[in-house]
Chain A
Amino acid sequence: MREGSVLEMTGIYKSFPGVKALQNVSFRLCEGEIHALMGENGAGKSTLIKVLTGVYPKDDGEIYLKGQQGAVKIHSPQDAQRVGISTVYQEISLCPNLSVAENIYLGRGEGQTVSWRKMNEGAAKLLSSLGIDVKPTKQLASCSIAVQQMIAIARAVDMDCRVLILDEPTSSLDESEVAKLFKMMRDLKKRGVGIIFVTHFLDQVYEVCDKITVLRDGKLVGEYQIEDMPRVMLVSKMLGKELDDMAEIKNDIPVCDQKDSTPVYEAEGLCSSEGIQPFDFYIRRGEVNGFTGLLGSGRSESVRAIFGADKVTSGTVKMNGKPVNITKPIDAMRNGIAYLPEDRKRDGIVGDLSVRDNIILALQVITGFFKPFSKAKATEFAEEYIRLLDIKTASVNTPIKSLSGGNQQKVILGRWLLTHPKYLILDEPTRGIDVGTKVEIQKLVLKLASEGMSVTFISSETDEMLRTCSRLIVMRDRKQVGELTGEQLTQNTIMSTIAGGGNDEQAE
């Protein structure tokens, strides 16, 4: 082991049936360093993390840790915790029905009896030292996703870890929360903790990291100091090619010039059981618009009301000028509306079913119970969209849950495109997926719009919305507070509209 390292992994191999997930990958983490692990979906980041934390057994290779003689053997996440490796995953893996304090101390008592008072006091101290404003006795499920994420980090911090792995911790946080998280990370860095930071956000990498390790197709591309690595170079390393797509797409802002045509979809006073204020909304043929706002502002709830995913309580809806009644998803689907949900794992995939079944599901439901597609027909549909969207899967029979996140998302997208919708709603389609796929999806949205489809696009990344949308509806506190078009579509106007005049929202 070299001087200053807390962790060294050498010559790691791991393969799954049909896929070589990791080939001769090495990784070195120094004391007090924040090290970004970058790569496209399927590059092997998650696999490397899971090998390190004992979730997957490795096929070959050695792992060395500071203070341990020789190669360490990690067979389970418990082993990893014991040797000081803690992980906070993208999807929160705490117990929602326990209290905050219980979650922090869960599984660490080693058979001692519990003093609730001590536990709650300890948790309160820890939370306040990290600047997390939540009561230790509160039930975890009643905290926001962002707070849950921070509690997961607090738990890891308190376990006295020397290697902290953050696997996409920021994908569900808003900016002020990200800032808090980064402060936390810098504090830990000062204490000598080595942090592995997996993220898709380039800005965040440049803000907080010291070093970058890039993986591609299961192989190590290289380890770089952050100063020596301009963004463009990083992106091209990740993709394995020179990429100017970002610039190209920027010049291509779509214009919707059919101001007087009848809207494809028009709603008045629409309101759902999820507590959004009644709102009006319309979209024209070939238009791309978007809902923007902070987390919890009601942008997802709005589109869910349009699709009938939540209980619609009031409002009138017209499609192409004709009144229609949309109270449940099947009504919306029959009227040519498609909805890609925000939470892929919870609302999007049918995990154990094959890629083929997942692709045909929506169209099959529209076609009807007594008209199943033949296996050949279904395979043909599936293969068409696997090719069109460049979905990386071993075969159409592979269960969707074994695909990487980005490819799962493409399958769900394919499912809705197969229904040939007139109006496509995409709620966070690019969340937690890599730069290359993000650009692909943005381009696809613009292409679909140019062919006449109406698209509503929701994203947490404002620049992504600016690149694709010609009209933005701004939401705050479950209310529509503004609509921006043309010249108004800049970061600054959006921010100031979101923030509003003199209220307590934080939106710097």
Chain B
Amino acid sequence: MSRLNNKKGLLAGLLRHQMLIPIAALLLLALFNLIADPSFFKISLGTNSNGDPVLTGYLITIIDCGSELAILAIGMTLVTAASGGQDISVGAAIAISGSVVLRVLCGSDSHAQTLQAPIIVAFLVSCAVAMIFGAFNGTLVAFFRIQPMVATLILFTAGRYIAASFHNNELPIVNDPSFGYYGNYFPGIPVPTPCFIAVICFAVITLVLKRTNLGLYIQSVGINEKTARLNGLHPEWIKFMTYVILGLCVAVAGFIKVSRLSTINYSVIAKDIEMDAILAVALGGNALSGGKFNMGASILGAYVIQFLSTTLYKFNVQSDALPAYKAVVVILLVVMSAPAVREKLSALFAKLRKPSHAAQT
């Protein structure tokens, strides 16, 4: 709070802006780390086990590990805006699409020494599969009008078993090192590859939102479906499409996840990531009941969550206890971003600002 007061001149214009909460949270976390241990921000150039130069440091970890979450946040934002509900099956869907990648790469032998198919083919097949599962969710939500949470509960429950069944419950391992490049580093490039993939995704969604009417259509459907229909839109198709797009995001995130380890653990991979993705959307100040959305705020929200996790890891919080600490911080952030609280806050700032304004003029 005191920090906000100090910066009130700058923040005055931002107060009503949706980006306020994620930015403020980010600053707060950064400030906390700066005071607790400035070495948090140190980035150094080292070498990894292969002798390639890599950048290391907590900040690098954050943007590296936040990639999957940020990519998922894109799809989750669209789904939330259009259907007024969330897809809770993304974690399970990542297990499925990751499993598909490995199945294509390994072929029938789960410990194949060489790649049985080009990586790009494996990726494209997993995209197709993830989009089919997205379409399944989308059909239930859009055409059968089942509540999103209930509809996606089906895959949430069954997804990890489906993923395991692709390999008869064996754990496949890809031994070719080139597969690991996508989740780690390309030789000679010191920046983690997932960062590049995430940036490409942001660029694509920015371009799509700018060059098509996706944003306008989704928001119209999310805000007033009846009006959207009378203006020539097909609300069911638009909702359906958002789930398919989320499927694509899932495929990209799943690809990064399996590439990181070159293997998969069906029950652990991307565990609870659906909740973090939903949280990212909420942190971005987007109403979980649908309607208007701000993509940038959601993406920033994803990195805030990762920042928080990394900070907690750094302070040696036990991994079991991590969710509890996270919950406390999340409560604070979500309460602050609630419209009722924000209104009160801006009223407070307006009051505080009056005297200083008088002094200036």
Contact = CB atoms under 8 A, between A and B. Distances in A.
Are A and B subunits of one complex?
yes
Interface of A: 307, 309, 328-330, 333, 339, 341, 346-353, 357, 361-362, 364-366, 368-372, 415
Contacts of B231: 329, 333, 361-362, 365, 415
Interface string B169-188: 00000000000000000000
B223 interface: yes
B292 interface: yes
Contact of B213 (A329, A348, A372, A415): A372
Contacts of A309: 229-230
Nearest to A373: B213
Nearest to B222: A352
A352 B292 CA distance: 7
B152 to A, nearest CB: 25
Interface residues on chain B, size class: 20 to 34
B230 A350 contact: no
A352 B230 contact: no
Contacts of A362: 231-232
A329 B219 contact: no
B350 to A, nearest CB: 11
Interface centre among B216, B217, B233, B234 (most CB of A within 10 A): B216
B211 A369 contact: no
A347 B226 contact: yes
B44 interface: no
A365 B216 CA distance: 10
A353 B230 contact: no
Contacts of A415: 231
B212 interface: yes
Interface of B: 210-214, 216-217, 219-220, 223-224, 226-234, 291-292
By Cβ-Cβ distance, the 9 closest A-B pairs, closest first, are A330-B232, A365-B232, A333-B232, A372-B213, A362-B231, A329-B232, A350-B223, A352-B292, A350-B224
Given A330-B232, A372-B211, A372-B212, A350 B217 contact: no
Interface centre among B217, B219, B231, B292 (most CB of A within 10 A): B231
A329 B229 contact: yes
Contacts of B230: 307, 309, 329, 339, 341, 347-348
Interface centre among B217, B228, B233, B234 (most CB of A within 10 A): B233
Contacts of A333: 231-232
Contacts of A371: 213
B216 A364 contact: yes
14 contacts: A309-B229, A309-B230, A328-B234, A329-B230, A329-B231, A346-B227, A347-B226, A347-B230, A349-B224, A350-B223, A351-B224, A362-B231, A364-B216, A372-B210
A248 B219 CA distance: 44
B292 A353 contact: yes
A346 B232 contact: no
A25 B211 CA distance: 49
Contacts of A370: 211-213
A352 B84 CA distance: 14
B228 A369 contact: no
Contacts of A348: 227, 230
A357 B233 CA distance: 14
Contacts of A352: 219, 223, 291-292
Given A369-B217, A372-B211, A347 B223 contact: no
Contacts of B291: 352
B216 A361 contact: yes
Contacts of A341: 230
A333 B212 CA distance: 20
A369 B213 contact: yes
